[in-house]
Amino acid sequence: MNSWYGGQGVLKQAQLKILSHLEKFSSDLEESWDVPRGLCLPGISEAVGVVRSAVHTPLNELEKAGYVFSRNAHVTNAGSRRRKVVHITYSGRELISKLEIVPGKGRNFGPIPELGLIYGRDKLSNQIFDLLVKGNSIIISGLAGIGKTSVARLISELLMKDGWTVRWSTCNLDSDPHEIAKMWIGKSAPTDSRAIASLFNPSKNILVIDEIQEVSKRHISSIHQLISICNEFGIATLLIVRAPNPLPTLENFQEFRVDGISPPDSIPILSPDLTEERALRISESLGGHPLALHLWSPEDKLPEKGEAVQEFVENNVLKSLSSTAKQSLDELSISPLPLNIEEISNEDGIVELDDSAILRWKSSQFEPHHLIKNVRNAQLVEHQIKSLHSMQVKKWSEIKGERARRMEVFHRLKSSKPSEEWLIENISLVFKSNSTSAAILVEEALAEVDSEKLRELAAEIALERGEVDIAKKHIDFLASGSMKDLLFSRIYRIQGDSETANKLEKDAIPSLNYSDRVRAEISSLVREFDDHLPGNIGKSIAMEIIDKCEKVNISDLDSTDQGNATLSLELLKHSAALRNNNLELASKCRGKIEKYLGKDSYRLEILDFQSRLSVRGANIQVFDAVEGVQKLINKIPNTLEKIKLIHLTLEACKSEFPDWLIEVHQNTPPSSLSEDKSAHRRLIAQWWYWKGILNPTNKLSHWREAISRFKLAECNNAATNLVQLLSKSL
C-alpha cells in the first residue's frame, strides 16, 4: 500500500511513518526547551529508516496540511546549539489514531535500540525467528554497517509479539560478563556466570549480545564462558558480531551472514525525488549496503559499479565534511569508548556529523559507525595519531573522576611512555570503581612498561576478579620473596586450599617491613572473624580471635598508624566479645573506640545497637532494638556501615523479617562498595547470602553468587558451609 486516505487528502506511506513516529512523543514537549533527539531531523530519519534528504519533502507536505509544525529547540545531550525539531499536531494525532497498532506482548530489558523501519530483511528475520523459537542459538555476522543490529532488532520485535522477554546488551571495550548481566538484569546483577544463567527461565527468554568484536582480548574468554553456560542452561542466545567472529569455537550455534539488501528493497531508503532507474543504479553500485545508502546524498557523484564501500566513504562522505566536523570525527575515532556531548571538544562538529548520518547513538552517548571509524583511522599516519592522543591527554587530565582517569591512562599510553608510579597511581584509582577497565589498562600498561610493581597490581586485580590463571601468569614473573608468597597464598585460598594458604602467609608475614607486617596480621584476623555465615561463629573461635588481637604488637608504629591499628583491633574485639556474650569486654572496647571516633559519631550508635541486637535471651528487647534501628539505618551516610547494620538486624530477626527491613535490604545494593578492599568483598558476599534468604524464589542464583563472592573474599569456610546449605535446599 503506497498511500492512505486521511480525510484531507491522500497521504503517502512515508508521511504516515513520520506521523506514527512523532505520535509517540508527548504534547507536553511542544513548549519545552529540552526535547528528545527523536524529534530532530536526524532522529526522525533514523526512526523511519530513510536518508536525511528523504524526510524533507514529506515533512514539508505534512506541515502544509497542518499535521505537524516545526520550531527551534535544544536537543537533549546533543549540544547547546538550537536545532530544528518537529511536533505532531492534534490533527495529526487524530489522523494516526485511526491506524491499528498492535502492541507486542513481551518485554525487553537493556539498551535495546529504537525500532526504525527496516527494509529488505523480512525473509532473513523470519527464518532466524523460527529457529530461535525452536530453541536454537544464533550468530548474526557481517561487515561493518551492513545492518546486523537492525536484523536482530527486527527479530526481537517478532519475539516480543510472540510473548518473549528480550534481554539486550551492547558491548564496548570495557565489557565483561558482569557488565553484560547488568544490562540484562539490572545494577544488582550477579558476577558468577552460573548465578547469572540461573536467573533466567529458558522458556521464552532470549539473551542478545551485540558488538562482541568490541570486547577486549582480556575479557573475551570470560564472555565465551558466560555464553557457553547460558547455552548449557538451555537459554536461547542471539549474538551479533562483525566479521571475523572472535568466538569461532562456540558450540551449538548456527551462524547467519548478513549481506546487502536487494536493489528493489533499497529504493525506499533513498530520496523519493530520484527516478527508480537511478535509485537502482545507486543501490547496485553500493552493493545494497544499508549504511552506505543512508550516507549517500544527491550531491554525491554516482558511485562506480563495484567500487568498494570504503572507497565511497573516503571519496564522498569524508571529503564533504568541514574541518570542524573532521576534528570531532578524529576525536571520536581514537576514543576507546563512546562519548557524550559534554566530553567533546567542539559540539558544532557533532551536529554536522549527526546530520550526515555518521554517528551511532547509544542513549546519550555516541560514536562513529564502525565503517566510518575504520576508514578514517586508516587515513591517519602514526605521528597524527600520537598528536591526537596527546590532545586528549590534556583534555582528560583536567577532568575529575574515574572515567576521566580511565580515558587519560588510555590516551597517555598511546601518546607517550608514562612512568611506573603514575600508572600505578591512576590505574589504582580506576580500580576502586571499575575493575573491568582497570584489568584492561594494567595489561596495556605492562605492554609498554614491564615492572615488578605493575605485575603485582595486575595480579591483585586478577585475584580480586577471581581470574586465577591470569593472576598466576603475572605472579610467575615476580622475583621470589614475601610479596610473591602472599599473592600465591591468596591463590590457594581462592582455590579452597586454606592449609597451604595459611602456611605461605604465616611464613611470609615476618619478612615484611614492620608496618606492613602489622597491617597483614590485622587483616588476617579480620578475615578469620568474617569467614563464617551469619550466626555461625563459635564462642571458642571468638575467644581465640580476642586473644590473638591482644598479641598484635603496634607499639612501634607512628602515632597515626598506631591510632588506626588500635581502632581496627578494638572494633574487631568488640564484635568478637558480643559473639562470646562478654558484655564487659565489649563495653571496655566501646570506651576506647569512642576516644578515636568522638562522642557524636554515628558509628557509636551502630555499636550500641549491635550490643542490643546481640541479646539472644530476651526477645522483647530484640524486638524493641529492631524497631529502633530503622531510623538509624535511614540516616547512615556510609554504604558499608549501613549494609553491616542491615545484616546485623536481619540476623537478630532470625526468620521473622519486617517488611521495611526486606525493602531496605533490596534498596541498598552493594554496587558502590570498592572491590579492591577485602572487607568490602566480604560484605558483598554476605549481601548475596541474605538476598537468597529474603528471595527464596531465586535462591539458587543468589547463593551461587554468594559462594563465588565468598571464594573471591578468601572465606573458604563460609563458602563451604553455604555449598552444603544449598545442596540441602535443592
CATH number at residue 209: 3.40.50.300
Whether residues 310 and 204 fall in one domain = no
Q: Are 150 and 633 a contacting pair, CB within 8 Å?
A: no
CA distance 332 to 335: 5
Given 575, 600, 625, which residue is the final one in a domain? 600
Query: Is residue 234 located within the same domain as residue 117?
Result: yes
Instruction: Confirm whether 413 is domain-assigned.
Output: no
φ, ψ for residue 181 (rounded to 5)? -60, -35
Q: 404 and 396 in contact (C-beta within 8 Å)?
A: yes
Same domain, 23 and 60: yes
Dihedral, CA of residue 57, residue 58, residue 62 and residue 68, to nearest 10: -100
Are 186 and 298 part of one and the same domain?
Answer: no
Helix axes 217-232, 177-184, angle to 10 degrees: 50
Give average pLDDT by consecutive 10-residue segment, the chain, 730 residues.
42 81 83 86 86 86 90 83 87 69 68 89 97 96 94 96 93 94 88 93 93 94 96 96 89 94 92 87 90 86 71 88 95 95 90 91 90 93 95 96 95 94 95 92 94 95 92 95 94 92 93 91 92 83 92 91 93 91 91 91 88 62 70 86 91 84 89 81 94 90 94 92 88
| Domain shared by 124 and 157, yes or no | yes
- Entry pTM: 0.83
CA distances from 314 to 34, 309, 322 (A): 35, 9, 14
- Considering the domain architecture, whether residues 135 and 209 belong to the same structural domain is answered as yes
282 is a domain residue: yes
**Tens-digit pLDDT profile for residues 486-542:** 999 999 999 989 999 999 999 999 999 999 999 999 999 999 999 999 877 778 888
What is the DSSP-derived secondary structure letter of residue 26? Answer: -
Domain-embedded: residue 394: no
What are the angstrom distances between the C-alpha of 617 and each of 126, 547, 581? 66, 26, 11
Q: Are residues 89 and 116 in the same domain?
A: no
* Ramachandran assignment for 479, one of left (phi > 0), alpha (psi -120 to 50 degrees), beta (any other): beta
C-alpha cell at 106: 513481551
Q: Say if CB 676 and CB 432 are below 8 A apart.
A: yes
- As a whole number of angstroms, the distance between CA 345 and CA 362 comes to 19
DSSP 40: B
The residue out of 280, 299, 318 marking a domain boundary is 318
Chain-centre distance for alpha carbon 385? 28
| Distance from C-alpha of 521 to C-alpha of 510, rounded to nearest angstrom | 10
The DSSP output letter for 316 is I
> How many other CB atoms are found less than 10 A from the CB of residue 97?
10
**Residue at a domain's end among 600, 630, 659:** 600
303 in a domain, yes or no?
A: yes
What does the alpha-carbon distance between residue 84 and residue 64 come to, in Å, rounded to a whole number? 16
Angle at 511 between CA 506 and CA 515, to 5 degrees: 95
Q: What is the CATH number of the domain that holds 48?
A: 1.10.10.10
Are 61 and 147 in a shared domain? no
Query: Taking Cα atoms as reference points, which of 578, 660, 567 lies closest to residue 613?
Result: 578
Q: pLDDT tens for residues 435-463?
A: 999 999 999 999 998 899 999 999 999 99
Sign of the CA dihedral with 558 first, then 561, 563, and 565 last? negative
The whole-number pLDDT of residue 581 equals 83
CA dist 527 → 32, 486, 505, 513, 717 (Å): 55, 14, 13, 21, 11
Question: Which residue has cell 563464617?
Answer: 532
Q: Which of 298, 363, 368, 292 is nearest to 327 (CA)?
A: 368
Q: Please indicate, yes or no, whether residues 158 and 239 belong to a single structural domain of this protein.
A: yes
CA distances (Å), origin 367, targets 321, 372, 406, 423, 528:
16, 10, 17, 27, 48
**Domain for residue 560, yes or no?**
yes
What is the C-alpha to C-alpha distance for residues 410 and 721, in angstroms, rounded to an integer?
Answer: 42
In a 10 Å sphere around its CB, with 0-12 CB exposed, 13-18 middle and 19+ buried, how is residue 302 labelled? exposed
- Total domains present in the chain: 4
Residues 212 and 76 in one domain: no
Q: Which residues pair with 360 in a beta bridge?
A: 367
Length in residues, the chain: 730
- Residue at 361 is within a domain: no
Residue 40 is part of which domain span? Answer: 3-96
Same domain for 141 and 225, yes or no, is yes
Please indicate, yes or no, if residue 705 is contained in any of the structural domains. no
Rounded distance, CA 640 to CA 694, Å?
A: 20
Determine, yes or no, domain membership for 611.
Answer: no
**Could you tell me how far CA 349 lies from the centroid of its own chain?**
28
CA dihedral 669, 674, 676, 679 (to 10 degrees): -70
Q: Are residues 161 and 216 in the same domain?
A: yes
Distance CA 283, CA 280 (A): 5
C-alpha cell at 402: 574515574
